Amino acid sequence: MTKNILLPPSEASQEPLNVPVKVVQRDIPKQFEIEMHSHEWGQFVYASKGVMLVETPEHCYIVPPEQGVWLLPHVNHKVRALTHVFLTSFYIATEMLIHMPQESGVLEVSPFLQVLIDEAKYFSGDYTWEDTQGLHLRLILHTINKAPSAIFQLPFPSDKRLVAILYAIRETPSNNYSLEQWGNTVGASSRTLSRLFKKETGLHYSEWRQRLIIQIAIGKLNEGGIIANVAHDLGYESPSAFTYMFREKTGMTPSAFKRSTFG
């Protein structure tokens, strides 16, 4: 398994938040990981380029540029760059959270919100809530609050046997073991594993695995992977079989997804 290089949280995240919204930029090379940490304020994390993996104690998110992650205060999280990532974070003061989503999760980032975020990269921290910069940031908060949840959020199991399965599939996504086969590997009956998956993720194993495969596929496509190679890596017998699954679950073909990402 590839070993990631750990990075500390940004210096800005350790400073007091003296404005309603602080915009923080960070450039993270591929396979670097910001170690587990939390904030006293809300945070919206968005990668304008690249694909990031965000893990909390309860969920695992593979996030392309069409999505962002909303985190409530005090939620432990770490961020790994699956490709070279240009990261923009919005630190949002607690008094503003009444106007924000009340649960952490992945949100869809519309082209309109992407433009707003791109413009905010150049803002200074010296503003008032009523000037042009303040009004722009208020519009960003409003748009984040109205953004729909992403479809393929992946609940993260805590049982060590399920976590072992997660990492094994992530490392070799073509592995299509049944629960009986996984049981022989991790030391549990298929019935126990089935019950644990439903209890800890709210999903049956087959649905949970398919969401994981979709997230892995998105990561590989965003890395510029050739569709035929991605299909092979994921264990599909043909690119057409992979394309059918991807379109059925995401509403677009892999080639359309690549065009939406790379233009």
Q: Which domains does the chain have, with CATH numbers?
A: 5-146 (2.60.120.810), 154-262 (1.10.10.60)
The mean pLDDT values, 10 residues at a time, for the chain of 263 residues are 74 86 92 91 92 83 85 94 88 94 92 95 87 96 94 81 93 94 96 96 92 86 88 95 89 79 55
Residue 114: its pLDDT value, please? 95
Report whether 190 contacts 179 (CB < 8 A): yes
Of 127, 189, 222, 201, residue with least CA distance to 158: 201
Please name the residues in contact with 164: beta carbons below 8 A apart, sequence gap of 6 or more: 185, 186
Q: What is the pTM of this model?
A: 0.75
**DSSP class per residue in 39-99:** -SSEEEEEEEES-EEEE-SSEEEEE-TTEEEEE-TT--EEEEESS-EEEEEEEE-GGGGGG
